Amino acid sequence: MSNIIEVKNLTKKFGDFVAVNDISFEIQKGEIFAFLGPNGAGKSTTIKMLTTLLSPTSGTMVLDGHNVEKDSNAVRHSFGIVFQDPSLDDELTAYENMELHGVLYGVSKALCKERIQQLLTLVELWERKDNYVKEFSGGMKRRLEIARGLLHHPRVLFLDEPTLGLDPQTRNHMWSYISELNKTEGITVFFTTHYMEEADRIAQRIAVIDHGKIIASGTSAVLKAQTNTNSLEDAFLSLTGKVIREEEGSPVDRMRMRHNAWTKK
């Protein structure tokens, strides 16, 4: 099997702070890969670099045969992403959000229409397609984002903490759908999560990152054997220690807090 993602000596510095420190890894085509780590370990920074949102300080990334930095437009066609924070337009309807995505990715009108119906039905939002996204619950927004991320049939799907704040029902539903897609369409899945049992159950391979370094990788069984533990949670804690990490609120977080304080829920 060939690699769909190849990362070599990737480093990202913000001033003096090294967020991602010389990491290298490969992901095979059709693999479900979990990227685990405490807050501030460098997970999201790595995803941002792989998805062309952030340029690395040094190192190379190849995704679906394209150099991420040099050939960013080709790379953008190859992946879909569900971000950690919402990235929908609240003032548009579910259908309009999907449609906008289709146009941005150059999906033809007829095909776009067909896929929107298919995907919205799949995430059980077809009945609500003409509702504004601002009327949706967190779970519904998440489902809509997943549907949108799949609209252009990406080869790789990035999911950055996709189940954060979702109830077990929605979470379960979402993962069975993504596993199904992985089997039928051969989509490679790269996800991060804080729920260890989720990674244990879904991921075929796991990498643990801490302080910007990949400190362990392999199947869940390998990680457990390596740390002499019985659960992935214990393996994770044994690898990363029990000290609670502080993550500084970004300006965006602070602004969102203020906005939430001023708008009725």
Judged by beta carbon, residue 51 or residue 163, the one nearer other proteins is: 51
3-class state of residue 107 by DSSP: coil
Judged by beta carbon, residue 73 or residue 230, the one nearer other proteins is: 73
Query: What is the C-alpha separation between 99 and 96, in angstroms, rounded?
Result: 5
> Any contact of residue 256 with other proteins (CB under 8 A)?
yes
Contact call for residues 160 and 192 (beta carbons, < 8 A): yes
For other proteins, how many residues bind (rule: CB under 8 A)?
Answer: 38
CB of 197 to other proteins, least distance (A): 28
Residue 154 gets which letter from DSSP?
-
Judged by beta carbon, residue 73 or residue 228, the one nearer other proteins is: 73
DSSP H or E run through 84: none
Query: What is the C-alpha separation between 77 and 121, in angstroms, rounded?
Result: 24
> Any contact of residue 261 with other proteins (CB under 8 A)?
no
> Any contact of residue 48 with other proteins (CB under 8 A)?
yes
Judged by beta carbon, residue 89 or residue 197, the one nearer other proteins is: 89
Task: State which of residues 259, 261, 263, 265 lies at the interface with other proteins (CB under 8 A).
Answer: 259
Q: Which residues are CB-contacts of 233 (< 8 A; sequence separation ≥ 6)?
A: 196, 197
Task: State which of residues 9, 85, 137, 221 lies at the interface with other proteins (CB under 8 A).
Answer: 85
DSSP H or E run through 74: helix 72-78
By CB neighbour count within 10 A (0-12 exposed, 13-18 middle, 19+ buried), where does 39 fall?
Answer: exposed
Task: State which of residues 9, 58, 103, 118 lies at the interface with other proteins (CB under 8 A).
Answer: 103
Question: CB atoms < 10 A from the CB of 51, how many?
Answer: 22
> Any contact of residue 237 with other proteins (CB under 8 A)?
no
CB of 24 to other proteins, least distance (A): 23
CB of 264 to other proteins, least distance (A): 14
Q: Per CB under 8 A, which region of 88-96, 117-125, 179-187, 235-243 contacts other proteins?
A: 88-96
User: What does DSSP say about strands 3-14 and 58-63: parallel, antiparallel, or unpaired?
Assistant: antiparallel
Binding letters toward other proteins, positions 146-185, x by CB under 8 A: --x-------------------------------------
> Any contact of residue 142 with other proteins (CB under 8 A)?
no
Beta-carbon-side half-sphere exposure of residue 95 (alpha carbons within 13 Å): 10
Residue 132 gets which letter from DSSP?
B
By CB neighbour count within 10 A (0-12 exposed, 13-18 middle, 19+ buried), where does 13 fall?
Answer: middle
Task: State which of residues 30, 65, 86, 139 lies at the interface with other proteins (CB under 8 A).
Answer: 86
* Residues engaged in binding other proteins (CB under 8 A): 48, 51-55, 73-74, 76-77, 79, 81, 83, 85-92, 96, 99-101, 103-106, 148, 250-252, 254-256, 258-259
